[in-house]
Structure formats: C-alpha cells, structure tokens
C-alpha cells in the first residue's frame, strides 16, 4: 500500500509581491499528521508564504504541490474542501452572528443553493462547544473582542473539516488559557491525520505544540526540521537578533526568554 502524498510539498519555492521575493529557495514537505510552526521576525515572509499556498499570491519561482497535485491544477472549490485558513484578521461583514460566521466554513461542502443543512449546523455547533465558545453563537461579531473573533475564525476553519489547516497567528489577542486551548485542539486534529502549519510569534508555544519548525529571516531559511532538534537558545537568538536564555521544566519542556541585563 503506497503512502499518502504530502499535504504540502514545495521545491525551490520563492514567494513575494511583484518581483521582490520575501522568501527564496524553500523546499519543504508537510506530511499528514504533523503540525509545523513557522517562526521569524516581522517581515520575514511568514504570512506571504501561507497566502501563496492558498493561491492568493502567485509564486515567483519553484513548484508547489498540494496532496500531490500542482497548485495551478486545483479548482477553487475543490481546494476549499481540502484546505482551511485562519487569517490574521476578519475583513468580512461584521453584522453576522458567531454561528453564521462559523457556518461559512461549511460553504465548500454545501449544494448549489448554499444553504446550511442539518449536518452543517451540527458540525458548527460541535466546534463551538469544542472551543468552549458556544455562548458566542448568537452574539454579533462586530460587538465581540479581538480574542473572541479570533476564536470564531479558528472555529470556522475547523468546521470546514480540512485536510490541511493554515493558521496565521492563531493565538493573537488570546489570553494564555485560550492560546493553549486552541493549539491543543489543533493538535488533537493533527493526531487524527490533519496537516497544519501555524505562524507563531512565541517560540515557547512552538516548543510545546509543534512537531517541526520552519525558521525564516531576511528572505532565507535559517533552519527546518524537528522542533526538538532545532529549537535552542542560540538558533532562536540568531533568528530574532537578541540574546536568549533557555531553561527546562521538571517534565522536560523547554522555555526561552530574553537575557536580562546584568
């Protein structure tokens, strides 16, 4: 029995806007059942990479395959059935309720009329309950906090039931409890075979939840591979341009923090 193709595979991929690449020569393979964290300073091209995978930004060079099929051969609706995205912000109509926003994730699976059916409603409500935000179902999105909107965007993506989940700063605006809760729910889906790529700003979250990491700085890849091997104070210090200290908890988890002044 042949192995399933990689959810995402790139070869010598360059991404950017216009003719200026922000990430060059990226060769990457993301397998089903793996959570990758993308780390790097602001402007390193992390969000642009995700938008390129979605087909929103054309690649400048190289090749990219999703589930073994070149990106240019994917039809938009077919891609939406397999790939979900949690953007940094929600720019749509803010008059929707929380449930209506989450139900948008079901649209690729609906018929020509685009009306949610019984299963769509069941999936949406189950995801709201899974994230502990059922109370937001009847709330108007425009009246919610940034963190509550972020949780609804995650719920919308999970309701899509994708095979590849792209998350652009999924923990932004969230308190510590909800940061952990979101990544724990993503990890639960990953254990079930989902492939996920999350842009994160906190290397401690990457160390706690990611299987592998992609480190980007100044348009190039500083490292990629297993999180347990790549995440250390020296490499992260080079990535962010500051001195970092590393510690371990009693159960072996790694923690990173800027070195204090003497």
261 pLDDT above the threshold of 60: no
Model confidence, pTM: 0.93
CATH 3.20.20.30 fits 8-258, yes or no: no
Cα torsion at 240, 200, 9, 24 (round to 10°)?
-30
| pLDDT over 90 at 151, yes or no | yes
Rounded to whole angstroms, the Cα distance separating 129 from 135 reads: 9
For the segment 121-149, what is each residue's pLDDT rounded down to a tens digit? 999 999 999 999 999 999 999 899 999 99
Q: Are 100 and 106 in contact (CB under 8 A)?
A: no
Exposure letters 11-49 (e unless 16+ CB within 10 A, then b):
eebbbbeeeebbbbebebbbbbbbbbbbbbeeebbbbbb
At residue 114, the pLDDT reads: 67
Q: What is the mean pLDDT of residues 21-38?
A: 96
113 band by pLDDT with thresholds 50, 70 and 90:
low
Between 9-23, 106-120, 189-203, 235-249, the lowest mean confidence (pLDDT) is in 106-120
CB contact at 8 A, 8 and 65: yes
What is the average pLDDT value for the chain, to the nearest integer? 92
Mean pLDDT for the stretch of residues 25-48 = 96
């Amino acid at each position: 029995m042949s192995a399933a193709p990689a959810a995402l595979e790139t070869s010598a991929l360059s991404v950017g806007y216009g003719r200026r690449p922000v990430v060059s020569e990226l060769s990457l393979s993301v397998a089903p059942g793996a959570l990758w964290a993308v780390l790097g300073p602001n402007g390193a091209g992390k969000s642009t990479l995700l938008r390129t995978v979605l087909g929103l930004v054309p690649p400048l060079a190289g090749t990219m395959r999703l589930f073994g099929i070149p990106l240019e051969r994917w039809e938009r609706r077919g891609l939406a059935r397999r790939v979900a995205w949690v953007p940094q912000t929600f720019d749509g109509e803010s008059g929707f309720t929380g449930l209506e926003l989450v139900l948008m994730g079901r649209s690729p699976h609906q018929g020509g009329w685009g009306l949610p059916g019984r299963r769509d409603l069941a999936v949406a409500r189950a995801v709201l309950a899974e994230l502990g935000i059922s109370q937001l179902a009847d709330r108007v999105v425009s009246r919610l906090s940034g963190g509550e909107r972020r949780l609804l965007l995650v719920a919308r993506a999970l309701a899509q039931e994708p095979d590849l989940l792209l998350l652009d700063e999924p923990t932004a605006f969230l308190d510590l409890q909800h940061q952990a809760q979101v990544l724990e729910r993503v990890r639960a889906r990953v254990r079930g075979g989902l492939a996920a790529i999350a842009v994160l700003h906190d290397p401690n979250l990457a160390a706690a939840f990611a299987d592998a990491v992609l480190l980007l700085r100044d348009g190039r890849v500083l490292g990629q591979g297993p999180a347990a091997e790549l995440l250390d104070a020296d490499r992260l210090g080079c990535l962010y341009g500051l001195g970092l200290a590393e510690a371990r908890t009693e159960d072996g988890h790694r923690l990173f923090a800027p070195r204090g002044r003497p």
